[in-house]
């Protein structure tokens, strides 16, 4: 068999199913924007109707998303009820920006998104007041045992005698003089008149109540575990309105049963939607659980949706990621060399016109050999990084020559093709 034909077949197999990375270029006339895990677009529509077509999916996974959205959606809005892994992100063929309606973005693989040319944004200021108010409610509830007193009355306990009051309200504690430990303040403690503790261990040892407000990442998963619980003061309280993955619920349940933790209030859980009938907390005492609603109020919901729609609008009408206000993976995008570092209009005169460019990325062992030959492609923009070479052009007046493997015409390399060999550019004969 012709070895060039074999090589073409091998390249086709490599390219099959790989989502082509998207670099800056002209948007479609009316790009498609989809709300992935919701169905109400009444807030977003007035902001986006003149620049985009807005649709909703109401999906819990990418398997439930319509093929048209997977193929054509340029922007995506999402809450916290859907997760986008690399495998999920690769299903989207035209996606350029994801906006998380809320502050947390641990349900999106932001590094993989950057490698695929997708900017990920969040709304960090959304629901700050609501979450703080809910946290204070939970703390007061744990100290004054309001939930359990209400439940006792619903069950018919009148608590008329002192002995009955002592029994039903047992565990209520005076708050004055207690120490509150806050994990995750993002440097604002000085403006609030708070004292910064040097290490996590010191905070755990000196706090009577601990509340979590940090984002979830690969470094702090199960931040509260059996080891850190043993470092806490005996009988402390724990409140979590941040992310469920911060707490090892098995270790927490055991600590509640042993009395090492006096009580806990959780608005977020390792597995959501949460059910008391399942999971390690079902038999644990002194637990208050709410269904990930600490962030919610009518005003906060509308404001966060408006801000998310405005971020999508900036992505459509501006330059990604420079015009985005809250791009959380911008650093990864630049490392992946997906975005030009010079004015794109100087490189592509028809950038804002109707001409569509084809985009390619080739992963190399050494991109230096290619960049030395870049003069053979005056119509292309080249950006070099240690392992990636990205270019876009309307025509490729050249051929790719792999070292030791003969000549391979460019049109064989499907968009998104990735090879692990170094290439050098040579002009077409």
CA atoms within 13 A on the CB side of 426: 11
Q: How far apart are CA 191 and CA 188, in angstroms?
A: 6
Candidate list 129, 189, 272, 331, residue with the active-site label: 272
Q: Residue for token digits 């003149």?
A: 50
User: By C-alpha distance, which of 237, 20, 234 is closest to 117?
Assistant: 20
- 272 assigned to active site: yes
- 270 assigned to active site: no
| CB proximity list for 86: less than 8 A, separation 6 or greater | 109, 112, 116
Candidate list 243, 260, 262, 383, residue with the active-site label: 243
Candidate list 213, 260, 269, 292, residue with the active-site label: 292
Buried residues in 173-182 as b, exposed as e (16+ CB within 10 A): beeeeeeebb
The CA–CA distances, whole Å, from 29 to 33, 38, 68, 162, 324 equal 12, 25, 16, 74, 20
Task: Please answer whether residues 412 and 8 qualify as being in contact, where contact means their C-beta atoms are separated by less than 8 angstroms.
Answer: yes
- DSSP letter for 345, please: H
| CB proximity list for 283: less than 8 A, separation 6 or greater | 253, 257
Question: Bridge-partner residues for 97, per DSSP?
Answer: 75, 119
- 206 assigned to active site: no
Q: How far apart are CA 298 and CA 286, in angstroms?
A: 30
CA 170 to chain centre: 42
Q: Is 254 helix (H, G, I), strand (E, B) or coil?
A: helix
Q: How far apart are CA 190 and CA 59, in angstroms?
A: 42
User: By C-alpha distance, which of 358, 428, 429 is closest to 397?
Assistant: 428
* Cα dihedral 62, 269, 114, 31 in deg (nearest 10): 50
406: left (phi over 0), alpha (psi -120 to 50) or beta: left
Please identify every residue annotated as catalytic. 243, 272, 292
């Amino acid at each position: 068999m012709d070895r060039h034909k074999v090589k073409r077949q091998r390249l086709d197999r490599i390219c099959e199913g790989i989502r082509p990375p998207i670099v800056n270029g002209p948007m479609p006339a009316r790009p498609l924007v989809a709300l992935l895990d919701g169905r109400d677009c009444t807030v977003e529509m007035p902001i986006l109707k003149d620049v985009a077509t807005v649709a909703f999916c109401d999906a819990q996974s990418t398997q439930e998303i319509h093929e048209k959205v997977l193929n054509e959606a340029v922007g995506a809005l999402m809450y916290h009820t859907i997760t986008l892994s690399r495998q999920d992100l690769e299903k989207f063929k035209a996606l350029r920006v994801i906006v998380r309606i809320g502050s947390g973005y641990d349900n999106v693989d932001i590094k993989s998104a950057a490698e695929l040319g997708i900017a990920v944004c969040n709304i960090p200021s959304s629901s700050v007041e609501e979450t703080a108010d809910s946290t204070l409610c939970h703390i007061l509830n744990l100290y004054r045992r309001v939930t359990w007193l209400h439940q006792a009355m619903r069950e018919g306990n009148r608590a008329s005698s002192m002995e009955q009051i002592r029994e039903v309200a047992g565990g209520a504690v005076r708050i004055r003089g207690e120490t509150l430990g806050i994990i995750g303040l993002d440097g604002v403690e000085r403006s609030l008149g708070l004292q910064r503790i040097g290490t996590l261990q010191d905070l755990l040892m000196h706090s009577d109540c601990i509340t979590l407000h940090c984002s979830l990442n690969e470094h702090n998963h199960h931040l509260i575990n059996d080891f850190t619980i043993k470092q806490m003061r005996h009988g402390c309280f724990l409140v979590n309105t941040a992310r469920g993955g911060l707490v090892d619920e098995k270790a927490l349940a055991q600590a509640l049963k042993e009395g090492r933790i006096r009580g806990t209030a959780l608005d977020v859980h390792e597995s959501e939607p949460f059910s008391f009938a399942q999971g390690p907390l079902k038999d644990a005492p002194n637990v208050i659980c709410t269904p990930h609603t600490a962030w919610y109020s009518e005003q906060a919901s509308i404001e966060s949706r408006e801000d998310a729609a405005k971020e999508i609008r900036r992505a459509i009408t501006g330059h990604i990621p420079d015009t985005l206000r809250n791009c959380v993976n911008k650093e990864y995008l630049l490392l992946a060399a997906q975005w030009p570092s010079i004015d794109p209009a100087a490189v592509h005169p028809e950038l804002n016109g109707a001409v569509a460019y084809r985009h390619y990325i080739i992963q190399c062992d050494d991109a230096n050999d290619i960049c030395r030959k870049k003069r053979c492609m005056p119509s292309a923009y080249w950006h070099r990084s240690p392992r990636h070479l990205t270019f876009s052009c309307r025509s490729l007046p050249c051929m790719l020559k792999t070292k030791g493997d003969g000549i391979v015409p460019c049109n064989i390399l499907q968009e998104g093709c990735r090879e692990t060999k170094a290439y050098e550019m040579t002009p077409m004969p």
